Amino acid sequence: MNKDTTQIFMTELDTYLFGQGTHYEIYNKMGAHLAVKNGKEGVYFVVWAPKAKEVYVVGDFNDWRAYGYDMKPVSDGGVYELFVEGARAGQCYKFLIISQDGEALYKADPYANAAQLRPETASVITDLTGFKWTDDKWVENKKKEDHLSSAMSIYECHIGSWRKQKDGTKDGYMNYRDIAHELAEYVSDMGYTHVELMGIAEYPFDGSWGYQVTGYYAPTARYGTPKDFMYFVDYMHKKGIGVILDWVPAHFPKDAHGLANFDGSCVYEYADPRKGEHPDWGTKVFDYSKNEVSNFLIANGMYWVDKFHIDGLRVDAVASMLYLDYGRTEGNWVPNKYGGNGNLEAMSFLKHFNSMMKKRFPQAVTIAEESTAWPNVSGDPDNGDCLGFTFKWNMGWMHDFTEYMKLDPYFRKFNHGKLTFSLMYAYSENFILVLSHDEVVHLKCSMLGKMPGDKDDKFSNLKLAYAYMCGHPGKKLLFMGQEFGQWNEWSEERELDWYLLDDESHKQMKDFTKKCMLLYKNYRCLYETDYRPEGFRWINANDKDNSVYSFIRISPDNNKHLLFVLSFTPVKRNKFRIGAPLKGKYKLVLGSNEDIQKKTLTAVKGDCDGYKQSLLIDLPAYGIAVYEFSGDLGIDD
């Protein structure tokens, strides 16, 4: 152990900054840290319990007996500390907190870096130092990257059900290290740039998928140790894949060992149940008005980037944070001081979080899952009312898009605007187009199951859907299993239906998704101008009678533009005429039936769609035709 551990112990400055909500490295102080005091090795414990009557630390090192292990207040702010000689890494512990009413509460450490595997609930003393990272170049490049103009295609993954062990173990979970190799190979081959992981911070109930967290600073023990997870991230970076974590600062569960009623009072949650409880979820809501709670969360987001080199955080349930009446009936919520339904404290928290994350860790992105039309969710966090996220999930696009795709093709001409409307607001935020886990559970059907028609029609429609998603402005996210057309809805209890890839239809589906992902990654026009209106142009947005959509994605250097022509009916259309923006050759780079589609087209004279030349395209049923062309379309690099 490093003998110089003086920096671990709490100082007056530490408690002051924590009380102000600005101690961004509080995780280096709070919790349990290996230390040396007076030449003796042990563990230094720190906990915040502002209304506690007494606080003890109990664990394997003292046979879980409190006598003689009472923690001492560091200041009058409710921070307690104790150095325990002889305590060591790997031992389990909890804080025994005596409330003002005399109730004995055995609580897991909110700042613990590891926890027991459920159903056990103790925290585990852990040493995070000593891992040899090999991703320095990756991190430095990410710091200099313009995230908005870079490619981002995300494979959303629940690693506990992506693949299972075949050795008959109880849960069948793979270790972080083992799954890193298989997942990196698969994701790289498919052409994705990032993985987004569900459920990494420790949680007690498998069915919550990790969205009801009890250990915000502890990678879940389901898949191994914290250093195993470090290896996972380091290996993904080695293979050129970024890692995004789902992060839940909106609410937490009521489990007895967790944050709820932490010292016998409402420490982390709002005291008023009209603000402090989510009636739909049965969870507690963080009290963002308390500096220490805000500090706990903001430092937690930074902790994952600092200690585990995470490339981004997708913030769950942002709408539930912003609206005081979210999920609440009339009379059961508390207006803000202006009489409105906006949570002013949550707004300030999110701005603070995004601003400091951008300043301290520019290599990491923040992503809001915000399901309403709340303005200025993404953008500069230091600019007025902007919340400051790097990106926002495009839930409006997702809803309209899936509703359109579910329609019988005959009725699509009456719903033509469901696909064009998203371009009316596409540049109001830095959007990510998402087809996430939420869309393939709870009787919503898998993506393939949503598609109309017989088996062949379903596969053709899903390929068409992914081709449109590829061409639409915005970064991309697709949930695991949907790339090869899984029939079953997703369940955390079983692995994906990989056996389907023995079927040629599913194999072709996977190959087509791969083509879309590689097309996206290899063409600048599909990502560099995502948030610049001049990067997109309709050829014809109004051909509702044929349900054909044609548009171009424009490259900033006028080289390798892409023309998309997509037909959303099973009608075969020979020599279908569309306007061509430039004279010359157009090369097919993605098609629904590339064996029979012409590899090269030449623009011919003849006005169409406002252009002086046109193309005659043979469109198969559910036709997909994407052409590369070059020339000056009037956009500056």
Residues involved in catalysis: 316, 369
356-362 own/partner pairs: CB under 8 Å, 24+ apart: 356/24, 356/298, 356/302, 357/298, 357/301, 357/302, 357/305, 357/313, 358/388, 360/24, 360/302, 361/302, 361/305, 361/306, 362/143
As a whole number of angstroms, the distance between CA 467 and CA 197 comes to 24
Place of tokens 């970024």: 242
The DSSP line for 192-204 is -SEEEESS-EE-S
DSSP single-letter state for residue 286: B
As a whole number of angstroms, the distance between CA 563 and CA 387 comes to 35
> Taking each helix axis from N to C terminus, what angle separates 226-238 and 136-144, rounded to the nearest 10 degrees?
70
As a whole number of angstroms, the distance between CA 158 and CA 280 comes to 24
Neighbour count for residue 456 (Cβ, 10 Å): 12
Nearest-CA neighbor of 138 among 229, 237, 243? 237
Contact 374, 319 (CB under 8 A): yes
Contact 374, 385 (CB under 8 A): no
As a whole number of angstroms, the distance between CA 110 and CA 438 comes to 28
